[in-house]
A and B are shown apart, each in its own frame.
Chain A
Amino acid sequence: MTLLWELLWTFMLIGISAFGGGYAVMPLIQKYVVDGPGWITLTELADITSISQMTPGPIMINAATFVGIKTAGLLGGLIATLGSVIPSFFLVWILAIVFERHGKLTFIQNIMKGLRPTIVGLIAVAAVTLFQASLFTSGQLSLSTVEWPAVMAFIVILSLSLKTKLDTIVLVGLGGAIGLLFFWL
């Protein structure tokens, strides 16, 4: 029982200290989970990072699930994950209400005008990074490292999502099928 509370509290702390998202959270996880209570080893943390690149979902959720399951089973995984999102749930609640009431104020709009293009620039970084990581073996740009199944899936899905309004889950499922097709050919 105390272990579950500790998991909840630890991941709430990580959740509220993690600004910026993505891999920025890894040093925090190392500090609160590896160095402190020693729930997982540094090697396992590196494993989580590589598994996260292969599985869906944000890295912090993956890490919380992994640590929770390892220390306290499935319930631990659920508790740790909940802990990592509870603080931001309340902050989102406040933020959404404030923005709905005062979002039209000029000074807020001026700040937003700086943020919007920045967001798109950062999304472009994610797009280029993912392109490199997914279409080339270990992200090395050269002709010999091209992952042809991924390239094929990329081209087919690109043309499909330009022409149709198919659900993302269908598109990605098709991509998986293309990958398998290449495996058996």
Chain B
Amino acid sequence: MTFFLKRGIMSTMKPTISYTDLFWSFFKINLVTFGGGFVIMPIIKKTFVERKGLLDEAEMIDMIALAQSIPGVMAINTSMLVGHKLKGVKGALVAMIGGFLPPLIVLSVISFFYVAFQTNPIILAMLRGMRGAVTAVLFVSSYSMLKSVLKADVPFALTMMISAFLIGWLTDLSVAYLMLGAGTIGYFYYTHLRPEVKA
């Protein structure tokens, strides 16, 4: 009887996360994710949206966008926003520490013998496989974000996405300017040209 009662309560409760779990989630992501912010952010999404179900795809995309509007390390900014959303300001602090500790530890070790590290064939072989794996995870996670963004107002979203892709691919324009431009376009398009489209 109590078993069923408990199950009933549990199933209506929003899933939650402990500080420990929050810390280890970010620690593990940053331990194995090569490459910069735009690689790490979809993998954060994979953990918190697909595996843990704590956030939805749209919330996560918003946090990634918000992270770009402030200076600093984009992956850490995103991590802190996720931490804040789930566990308040202490959560943000936990996410930040979990995010910077793995590269800090790895680089502390490597900085003492980085020449040997860069030329060791066994390490290089392992890193090669790991990078292939990170690429695969990134592909799967990015594809689901793409589907999520193309749910509403497809012509506008598709135009913006392809333009951003081409500018990012072909030029060295800073992400900060790109975001500034995209935000301005979004504002004018939906405020003045298409005010009938609801959020």
Contact code string B177-195 (vs A, CB < 8 Å = 1, else 0): 1110011111101110000
A residues contacting the other copy or chain, number (CB 8 A): 102
Shortest distance from the beta carbon of B130 to any chain A beta carbon, whole Å: 4
> Which A129-185 residues have a C-beta within 8 angstroms of B?
130-131, 133-135, 147, 149-158, 161-162, 165, 167-169, 171-183
Known: A95-B66, A116-B149, A130-B39. 17 other contacts (CB 8 A): A55-B103, A60-B72, A69-B111, A91-B72, A92-B81, A106-B199, A116-B61, A117-B161, A118-B182, A119-B164, A122-B38, A123-B41, A130-B131, A150-B129, A168-B28, A174-B133, A175-B134
Shortest distance from the beta carbon of B126 to any chain A beta carbon, whole Å: 4
Given A112-B186, A162-B140, answer yes or no on A183-B72 (Cβ-Cβ < 8 Å): no
Chain A residue numbers with a CB within 8 Å of B36 are 21-23, 58-59, 126
Shortest distance from the beta carbon of A56 to any chain B beta carbon, whole Å: 5
Residues in chain B within 8 A of chain A (CB atoms): 28-43, 46-47, 50-51, 61-62, 64-77, 80-81, 84-85, 89, 92-93, 96, 100, 102-104, 106-108, 110-111, 114, 117-118, 121-122, 125-140, 142, 145-146, 149-150, 153, 156-158, 160-165, 168-169, 174-179, 182-187, 189-191, 199
Shortest distance from the beta carbon of B76 to any chain A beta carbon, whole Å: 5
Secondary structure dominating the interface of A: helix
